[in-house]
Amino acid sequence: MRFRFVHAADLHLDSPMHGLTARQPHLAALFAQAARGAFVALVDEVLAREAAFLVISGDVYDGDWRDYHTGLFFAGQLARLSRAGIPTFLIQGNHDAESQISRKVTLPPLVHVFGTRKAETLELADLKVALHGRSFADRSVTENIVRTYPAAREGWFNIGLLHTSLDGRAGHASYAPCTLADLKAKYYDYWALGHIHAAETVSTDPHVVFPGNLQGRHVREAGAKGAMLVEVDDGIVLAATPMVLDKARWAYIRLDVGSAANLPEVLALVEPALRAEVAAAGERPLALRLALLGETSAHDLLVADSQHLQAEIQAAADRVSDHLYIERVEIATAQPRTARRGEAVGFADPEVLLAGLEGDAAFHASFSAAVEEILARLPDEIRQAVAEGGEAMRAGLVSEARSVALARLRQGSGEAA
């Protein structure tokens, strides 16, 4: 028997968009709507492709609802599938674990949520499909729950739903940890995984798939996002094809500007790179982080007046598209090696001057007081980010201040000459 189904995960409906709200409220609003728009697009695709069913592998929500609108929106979209006779099977992950969600809305009749007490099996008898899964009861599930999953049904197409860090994927908390060998030992035909926000087909024998999250929420979730369309014939997975569904996008460009000698030449390299990213994003709003790399004689100019650089790059972005926002510019350039030999400003080497300051207790006390004064004037979300960053972030601020000071000292020397 031939059929298709759609596998999605990590919807994070109504999740806040980090890094945009304070500085670009209009764009933040577009991105906030994007998660809902992506879910509507997912339901549209399930209907248009006449999928037999939809699987959602955890983290529908981003945590407890502020009000009932989030739950009503989710239930309303699944009702579209239910009215068309298309069932949905879902598990709860760490963000929407049973203990995390205090409000409830009754879901449509063809929506099936796996329980939390033990792994269980739900059937689609007409397709001979057996779905095995278990929801998270609490936010932190640290044991290997795969071992408790039922054995595969012989002669049926077996799907396992699991929200997991699988082998400890980098950058994600370790939830329901297991190995690929654990999954293969169940002899299921398809493992529908969630929790990892980058799409990845871990294995094709059997298929073990992370579809990634439906909508990117910050720059670490750059690129196209969506779900998987899975084609099955006679119990064999013919294909698992990504479907791009995101309604706003993040990008991270690392651009070598080593050939540029001044700011206009840097901008001449930047603008075509921005155009390429806008073209790749289509009509979607795009938030972009730009890292400038390479050894360039423009380094001191870029570092000494980074606000001017940021403004010029945003102006270039505005020339390219009215839906393009430069989230951050990272200056990771360096002076050419030949220019760094024996440099001095007047009677002293700036490196020596700064080294003396960095070892001075009074300087550190003054610097800390200045940082605290600046932080007190910033929005809550930025203050919280600095607090969470701890000493590493403060060290980064010192390093950045050091680079700016050196650049300005060298520029001052050049102007004096």
Place of tokens 């001057």: 353
Residues of the chain with pLDDT under 50: 342, 344-347, 415-417
CA distance 110 to 86: 7
* Strands 286-295 and 249-256, sheet pairing: parallel
**Residue 172: per-residue pLDDT:** 60
**Residue 416: per-residue pLDDT:** 37
**Residue 135: per-residue pLDDT:** 95
Amino acid at 368: S
Amino acid at 199: A
Q: Classify 238 as helix, strand or coil.
A: strand
The residue ranges of DSSP E strands in 157-284, in sequence order, are 157-163, 190-194, 200-204, 207-210, 226-233, 236-244, 249-256
pLDDT in tens, 309-360: 999 999 999 999 988 999 899 999 998 977 555 454 444 555 555 565 556 6
Domains of the chain: 2-244 (3.60.21.10), 249-341 (no CATH), 344-417 (no CATH)
**Residue 221: per-residue pLDDT:** 93
CA 266, distance to chain mean position in Å, is 28
CA distance 288 to 329: 9
**Residue 67: per-residue pLDDT:** 87
